[in-house]
Structure 1
């Protein structure tokens, strides 16, 4: 039997359609008989095969670092009913030959993924499912991930998130898999219990309405009667890859494009794995959202900006200051509000001028503060120590956060202007102590403007719970550890603030877990 399935790629530098493919049903039931009656849930084993069009430092990093790290993350975060032997029926997929050992059967994998890398062309990536197994309630067992370009302008965090993202498209984030979500083996929920839709400003919006997704989203957004989680608009009737709305889930790893930073591996995304019935999610390896956290139900229903004024602190409308704080209060940046040469679509016009809006269409043209390249408050190298410390009392580090104001040291020759600054934060109870040079102020749950001894101007305190809440770990602990209260507990053999360091022995062992071929 065959089942036609088309996938939409991850948007990187625009929409790039992957080749279509007739999805195969595995014939495993004929070969092995029925599955075991007592499920044996264990960390998912993803068997990978890597092919590169040429040898390069980036292809080496993909095979030796990014992919193994992503596999390690999934092995911790997702459990699956272990199969004694994984056998696929396909001999080719998208003109790629399936390794013969998969047709004979392997004992060290629950799903097989062929990674294909081509160094030439624009940076892009897509994922395609090749085969599912009816004996496993239509669980995917074979797929292809294609990565192209040098990715030299992307950060380590963005590339790693990209690999984790593409694997998710093979495992669960696919519209054609939604009808086969089940509570029990063979008992499908039905598409009407998984996917819903409504109309917003003349456009149809699809949303996920499964129980775990709704539960995690209600807790995160502070909305007790949430209908579901909106999906990004699908640009083709044949497209099947699904992503969260970036307007709601800005820096989650499953938004449509790679133009994100401080990537969050949210419990909402892992909840979709849980709701499929194929997987069990280990939420210890997920984060609570930062973007939209406790913003309430109106964050879903209200416009980001009305008559030029932001309705939520996540959005902006000012460009006159020298810098602003992003929504996480961990970066200094600028509001991406600008003017287009053509009119913005009518449903996304928030200002008196139909040409004005944010520069990201995946954010529904909502303007947001995007970080400067040297704007991280947690990066010790981001602050010009002498200049900014003397003028604004700034200090970067893991406990530093971003605040705004017109404050400037009275002894400085800097003029008073609106700006953002990075400052060390210490918290006790509901009070956040903000260190500005040698002085301190105390931010309360209600926030507000304060003056600083020895400084002209004022500083704007956000609510103290924003400054004091635990944040996701940097780089998601690189897929090599567990984030606890904002700090990484690294796996054995790894160390560093983001588990970025590893022993040579472990490095060599990880390499030999992969099959590396230069074609």
Structure 2
């Protein structure tokens, strides 16, 4: 619904400081719509003098008929846009008097940070939804106004104003511990020992149920709120460390989803009913238990290392050159461990390693994940390939446009709707022609089409279908394409991991291990070169140099 903005749509105007606090009514003679002086961002300028509103100013206007919520949208490069890497921001403008529900809000999208590329459309749409949810209720400035199922306030009201009490330091209304509770962890494991940490958690009934179900942890007190990022991020988003790609965390890093946990929060405001059929599954941390959801990432890494288990979604491989990629836990993308060296020593609470391979003692305090909001916990993250700052492609398997161009598709990857990520064998993939040998300096995993047929998982590489007979089987690939011999290996995951549900829907099942089919079923191409090609001194020298450089870089 599009509205023509005129004075009949507005009641009192308010002026707030740059953080959205210290709001006060703006006298009619200084209102923006009356051509009051404004700064470069369109903010009203006055001398700070409060002039009481007159009866005429407070009279009710006709408003907007048959409308539950009005969102005013702008795309202005404001001072807040220029601060950090802000993509957008939003807030509610007005609440109705009976149940405190927001009835108007404003969202501004920073033009300089918004991508117009088609591949980024899901990210942009996610940003729009994210900001709308802030205006509708997911906001630290609205927690104190939440209500229970019977419409009763979850936070006591002052008898003189009918509003919750004010926190003078934060300049927001104080909430009760029926909404947000401080939870202290006394033995929070960090480098060299333990410390005590206190977290803010949403503890409303539906949220508590959803987070306990999600993590499979009946002891979890609630859903943790972000404690970093300053005003506008802290306390008004989910904690990045524990909810990584949930869309209501404080920064977009990969494949944002609006989960049942966010739906539950919106319903726990007391203002909405959620249709959970529209929620998207959140894979991050699902089913990992209390030993994941109630401890530090260092403790989780230590536990998994001791149990000789995969530490995903966290990781401990330092990002370096050559790049060693992996698969995301659900095999939806090629990912990298974002563990990097920081120039400065990380704060004590964010130091997660006592030792690291090839890192000098004492230097471990410099190492952590690249995302600060995730408490510098290193985790497996999707990424993009760029050339001279220009985006070439992403690493999500389902996007066909992420398939590498033919001349650089050394591992014969194929991205698309029915593709998943598969690990490569330990040996680096090789491309060989009669004139050159290439050993690519990044490998580890790739995206390929797959099929679930005849009780088996089948992986398609270079238009050939390879059959997996057991987990960890290495499919030896040796295919000539456009004059290049591609040599490498693809590792089979367990059949049930990718085909279990599909087979079950057809009353089929994954077969047990059997003898593989004869090797000659698959191509075993041999590169045939002329004697001139093989004996050319220049070609021999180039080949030797490439191999020497590969050894040096290893």
TM-score, scaled relative to structure 1: 0.63
Work out whether residues 338 and 357 of structure 1, in 8 Å CA contact, stay in contact via their aligned partners in 2. Answer: yes
Match of 1:107 among 52, 60, 65: 65
Deviation string 1:111-135 (CA, Å, 9 cap, x unpaired) is 2222232136535322222222231
Structure 2 partner of 1:382: 402
Structure 2 partner of 1:288: 281
Cα distance in structure 2, aligned partners of 1:465 and 1:101: 66
User: Aligned pair in 2 of structure 1 residues 277, 395: CA closer, same or farther (>3 Å)?
Assistant: same
Equivalent runs, 1:145-160 vs 2, <5 Å: 145-153=107-115, 155-160=120-125
Cα distance in structure 2, aligned partners of 1:185 and 1:226: 26
Cα distance in structure 1, aligned partners of 2:428 and 2:447: 13
Structure 2 partner of 1:34: none
Structure 2 partner of 1:421: 446
Q: Is 1:314 matched up with 2:331?
A: no
SS in 2 for 1:392: coil
Query: What's the offset of the Cα at 1:451?
Result: 1.5
Work out whether residues 221 and 295 of structure 1, in 8 Å CA contact, stay in contact via their aligned partners in 2. Answer: yes
Query: What's the offset of the Cα at 1:309?
Result: 6.1
User: Aligned pair in 2 of structure 1 residues 273, 238: CA closer, same or farther (>3 Å)?
Assistant: closer
Q: Is 1:221 matched up with 2:212?
A: no
Cα distance in structure 2, aligned partners of 1:378 and 1:142: 38
Query: What's the offset of the Cα at 1:163?
Result: 1.6
Equivalent runs, 1:60-139 vs 2, <5 Å: 103-119=61-77, 122=82, 124=86, 125-135=88-98, 137-139=99-101
SS in 1 for 2:130: helix
> What are the ranges of 5 or more consecutive residues in structure 2 without an aligned counterpart?
1-11, 26-57, 156-175, 189-195, 305-310, 356-363, 386-392, 479-486, 502-554
Deviation string 1:39-66 (CA, Å, 9 cap, x unpaired) is xxxxxxxxxxxxxxxxxxxxxxxxxxxx
Work out whether residues 6 and 238 of structure 1, in 8 Å CA contact, stay in contact via their aligned partners in 2. Answer: no
Query: What's the offset of the Cα at 1:418?
Result: 4.7
Q: Which moved more, 1:167-176 or 1:115-124?
A: 115-124
Equivalent runs, 1:184-333 vs 2, <5 Å: 184-190=149-155, 191-200=176-185, 201=188, 202-233=196-227, 242-257=236-251, 259-305=252-298, 311=304, 312-318=311-317, 319=319, 321-333=323-335
Equivalent runs, 1:392-471 vs 2, <5 Å: 392-406=411-425, 415=439, 418-427=443-452, 432-437=457-462, 438-442=464-468, 448-454=471-477, 459-462=490-493, 467=498
Work out whether residues 21 and 130 of structure 1, in 8 Å CA contact, stay in contact via their aligned partners in 2. Answer: no
Query: What's the offset of the Cα at 1:409?
Result: 7.3
Larger Cα-atom Rg: 2
Work out whether residues 226 and 250 of structure 2, in 8 Å CA contact, stay in contact via their aligned partners in 1. Answer: yes
SS in 2 for 1:449: coil
Deviation string 1:77-136 (CA, Å, 9 cap, x unpaired) is xxxxxxxxxxxxxxxxxxxxxxx998323223112222232136535322222222231x
Match of 2:384 among 356, 372, 378: 372
User: Aligned pair in 2 of structure 1 residues 238, 264: CA closer, same or farther (>3 Å)?
Assistant: closer
Cα distance in structure 2, aligned partners of 1:262 and 1:185: 36
Query: What's the offset of the Cα at 1:144?
Result: 2.2
- The structure where strand makes up a greater share of residues is 1
User: Aligned pair in 2 of structure 1 residues 101, 110: CA closer, same or farther (>3 Å)?
Assistant: farther
Query: What's the offset of the Cα at 1:339?
Result: 0.9
Q: Is 1:342 matched up with 2:344?
A: yes
Aligned residues: 379
- Answer 1 or 2: higher relative contact order, Cα 8 Å, separation at least 6: 1
User: Aligned pair in 2 of structure 1 residues 441, 429: CA closer, same or farther (>3 Å)?
Assistant: closer
User: Aligned pair in 2 of structure 1 residues 304, 397: CA closer, same or farther (>3 Å)?
Assistant: same
Work out whether residues 266 and 289 of structure 1, in 8 Å CA contact, stay in contact via their aligned partners in 2. Answer: yes
Work out whether residues 226 and 234 of structure 2, in 8 Å CA contact, stay in contact via their aligned partners in 1. Answer: no
Match of 1:161 among 95, 108, 126: 126
> What are the ranges of 5 or more consecutive residues in structure 1 without an aligned counterpart?
8-16, 25-99, 471-519
Q: Which moved more, 1:171-180 or 1:286-295?
A: 171-180
Work out whether residues 69 and 102 of structure 2, in 8 Å CA contact, stay in contact via their aligned partners in 1. Answer: yes
Cα distance in structure 2, aligned partners of 1:216 and 1:469: 26
TM-score, scaled relative to structure 2: 0.60
Work out whether residues 378 and 397 of structure 1, in 8 Å CA contact, stay in contact via their aligned partners in 2. Answer: yes
SS in 2 for 1:206: strand
User: Aligned pair in 2 of structure 1 residues 378, 141: CA closer, same or farther (>3 Å)?
Assistant: same
Query: What's the offset of the Cα at 1:337?
Result: 1.5
Cα distance in structure 2, aligned partners of 1:294 and 1:5: 46
Cα distance in structure 2, aligned partners of 1:255 and 1:378: 23
SS in 1 for 2:112: coil
Cα distance in structure 2, aligned partners of 1:316 and 1:464: 24
Cα distance in structure 1, aligned partners of 2:201 and 2:298: 22
